[in-house]
Amino acid sequence: MCECHHSVVGENEFVITRVFDAPRAMVFAAWIDAKQVAQWWGPRVFTNPVCEIDARVGGRYRIVMRAPDGTDYPMKGVYREVVADERIVFSVDLSDHPDEWHERIDPGRVKGQGKPAMDAVTTVTFTEHNGKTTMTVHMRFNSGATRDAHVKGGMAEGWTESFVKLDKIVVTSDREIVTTRVFDAPRELVYRAWTEAQHVAQWWGPNGFTSTIQDMDVRPGGKWRFVMHGPDGRNYPNEIVYVEIVKPQRLVYDHVMPPFHVTVTFDDQGGKTKVTMTHLFATADERETVVRKYGAVEGAKEHLGRLGAYLETM
């Protein structure tokens, strides 16, 4: 876990940076998915009973942060730029915060003069190196005095506590099952074996299972429906929705029920192919359940073992 680094820049800017041990796509997603934002936004002891996110250019967000004493701190803004996995720019409007907060941040403000509509413009950038993500939050305020008042009011501490919560969401080692194997076959062939129905039906699943492919639409948003037939005679219907397709390097898909997220990477190693299959579960308890009840770790190893045997026949 890395510490945050923050500084004041220029006349009216504030910058804070943190490195997360997680891919940037996952960190970026935690900024634009309302359910995730609600889990980490705000200081440590705050909750977010309202979190509405429309992360597109011109889209709006609204978050109501609630303090332990029950005081609500509403905020809202408009997205000015959204570049997937790279950059988010949005306005920050704190005019609906309680009067007491405005008086604390701006002691010189005359009562009844109104509240500032636009407090800041925030730019968040994401860069990835060796699987880790450097996230930089750059805030530009209306004035240096406003910036300094926020810093004095504990802005750096608030961001830091937010990022501690964000870290718990994006660092996923206790929610993952990662299985890796190197195959003596070219990457294009291994990718075909994973994405063409006539091949998948021959090897999919742990030892003793067979599969019937109902339909397989390998494209973002496409669905793959199939039935696995167990050695005990039971049938197990499955549905998968593809999220990302990068041929022949990467597959990302969501398993519908039970819900889990899968990323498969195909790395060329001089004519051989290293496959890394990562199952990501919503909670550590869900991971432990499938490990304990269904033998998921051993099943994943058998799964790749069957692929290896089938590749020899191709």
Q: What is the pLDDT of residue 111?
A: 58
Q: What is the pLDDT of residue 284?
A: 83
pLDDT at residue 2 in the model: 54
pLDDT at 199: 96
Which one, of 88, 301, 1, lies nearest residue 177 by Cα?
301
CA distance 28 to 36: 11
pLDDT along the chain (314 residues), means of 10: 78 94 88 93 93 97 94 95 96 88 68 61 94 93 88 91 91 84 96 96 95 95 95 94 91 90 92 93 87 91 96 92
pLDDT at position 105? 72
Phi, psi torsion values for 39, nearest 5 degrees = -80, -25
What is the C-alpha to C-alpha distance for residues 239 and 183, in angstroms, rounded to an integer? 27
Rounded Cα gap, residues 210 and 166, in angstroms: 40
Q: What residue ranges define each of the domains in the chain, with the CATH number in brackets?
A: 5-171 (3.30.530.20), 174-313 (3.30.530.20)
**pLDDT at res. 183:** 97
- Give the span between the Cα atoms of 102 and 97, in whole angstroms: 7
pLDDT of residue 115: 58
